[in-house]
Structure 1
Amino acid sequence: MPSLPHVAHIPMPLAGDGSSVAHVVRALTLEHAMAGGRSTVITSHNRDATYPHAETVPVDYTRNCPRAYFTPAEYRTDWAVGALLRERPHAARLFEPAAEALARVRPDWVLLHEGHYAVTALPLLRRALPPTTRIALHVHNAISSSVLRPELTHLLRSADLVIGVSAFMAEAVRRRAWVDDAQVRWVHNGAATSRFHPDEAGGRADTGRDDRQGDRLRLLYVGQVAPHKGVDLLLRALGAMGRHAERYETRVVGSAELRTTDDRSAFEEHLRTLAAQVAGPVVFEPYQPQDEVARIYRWADVVAVPSLAEPFGMVPLEAMASGAYVLANDAGALPEVLGPVGRLVPPTVAGWVDALTGLDLDDVVAGRDQAVARARGFTWAASHEALMQAMGQPAPVRP
């Protein structure tokens, strides 16, 4: 049986442990280790990032990005240079330390995780790495609209493979670039069902309702608190429901930044203004680590996912695994993840008002087993196997 490839990952340079990309890399490197493979992860020397099942190689990304962000003038320069099909002087060169480190490591495959202009570094990686090292762009988020079709087509010529986290994301790449269809695949993310599962009593319906505020349903939003996640849409809908919003007790768990912080963005302050207009109780809690989020999912009857353009949907998947009823925008990859489970909602205030007013505890209880079964079809073992097959490797044999 041929050995599995040595796979190196380049997550987003300036992201820490809380990013969804970091969670995906941790899960894939765990599965790769369990199947007998070797993984390396390039990390930033000044960010907290833990990958216990991989070798980590810290690099200094501040060499070409000393402020940990680019200025508007630097972005404009990048856009202009990129439009001429030349290497972007800021976004692409940010990845030079990673390319140099991997040239020494010499892995079989490099997965460059697209989160913020990573695609622009593909030609730089191709020059730095040995010809025997193959490169895949792993697309977690929409590629910046500043990368026009000719530039994107040019950049993707340096990749052996493009992997979307959903069929929706893979198709988005095909629409944006002149690319061979065979070069673009999709591999769904998974759910850690050992962590995300219904409570041990078999679900909320069996645990009693003594700690509820009356007969209210527990409504949860969890994730990054940012405009593109649509939290304001949810709160506007609750406000528009008038006294009918008293049916819900709502928790908004998350922060603008994917880390614990006491600072609030202007958007977070705006959400508190909207919440003051909701008849039912609304509480806000900051970013929580994954183990705590698993417990919070088990508190919820209903998990709202009002995201405006979700590339995959880890939150609805983890919520279903935990036995919650999911209401999600009918947008992005969310229909792929939910399938026939929960309810897809038109992404409007009226759509959310209709969905929230039409839901009761009987719906939640009736849909629980179906939700859990749906989520258990998305395993990280299956994700890893699909990734290996996309790379042209035989399916791993697990002990």
Structure 2
Amino acid sequence: MRGKLRRNDNLTSEKTLFKQTLSNLRQIILCSNATPIRRSIGRKYLCSFCTERFPSPAELKEHNLNEHFKDLATKERKVIDEIVKCIPRTGKSKTSIKLDITSFTCTLCGSPINDIAELYKHLKSTHNGLLHTDIKNLMIQFKFDSDQLSCYVCSKEFSAFSCLVEHMNTHVTNYKCNECPSAFVVWDRLKDHQKKTHNVGSFKCTLCLKVFKTKTKLYLHGRNVHKKGETKCNHCGEAFPTRWEKQKHELKQHDVSVAIFKKVKCDACEREFNNVGSYNAHFRRFHLMERSHKCDRCDMTFFESRDLKRHLVKHGEEKKFVCDFCSKAFKWKRILREHLRIHTDDRRFKCKRCGLGFVQKITWRGHMRTKHGEMV
């Protein structure tokens, strides 16, 4: 009985939080140019108030401001009657409320605003707004001020909006898991996580009868082994486990390209890249010289965490990877593999200008730079 009472009490508090959040959301939309995003499907962003879909957040924002919020009176009526369309109706939201705050301003006085927290302070101090400021934040915010999807808090970049939404759980940590570092914006996401990840039992695959300890492991098995949720090529019907693999196939076999595969040329060094994401990473690494990962044992800094992990091996003593030919030992297995090419005379890196072959890529690059004046 006590457990039941606690669950009921928790349900009541979640419903109260939902109502207070809805009240705040009403004020945000009435008093600012923030626009809600229901969700994304593929590369389309869905309007919260109608069935329209748009290829970019900017077009969705323009649609909202022009069609649904033409003036304050229209805005008021829409907010009262239809605002619940942008969030689940249950009182226990499984999904967070997603708001586009690009070029954020107060529409009552035109003041520029940085984020929702600053808007709350501004509305209370300047316009006597009635807001709930002592509640958990169920809203996550996005700024689409560049071509690359990125987190407005930490600037980390993403290839899909769904990945960015998932990442925001690291910044809005309302509900934390007691068994691992994971945290979530909404309560039900935490419950789903605990049920799938930490609920240990016997979960049997219906296709091959293998048994797994958690539902997450069973799901990954089904996706990777049996290709559940696979996507098919629109031209030949071949199936792929991910949309990324399908798109690469369509580009190679059917010459059908999408925006992520359009070639981009670097203006600084004239290198060409197969997509915008690769170009952005290159530019930040080699031209902006971003180095946010610092070694705590020396002064070295690195662009990616995996580069730092490789570097940390240098501070260790053990060399456990030994060459069978000459007994030379290495700290990294990757270096041993490269070393073995010397014994097998594997000159896989060929110069297209003079035909010379090289064992290591770095040697080939040095040759191309010094002998032919090319940066590769």
- Normalising by structure 1, report the TM-score: 0.24
Greater C-alpha Rg: 2
Higher relative contact order (CA 8 A, sep 6+): 1
TM-score, normalising length from structure 2?
0.25
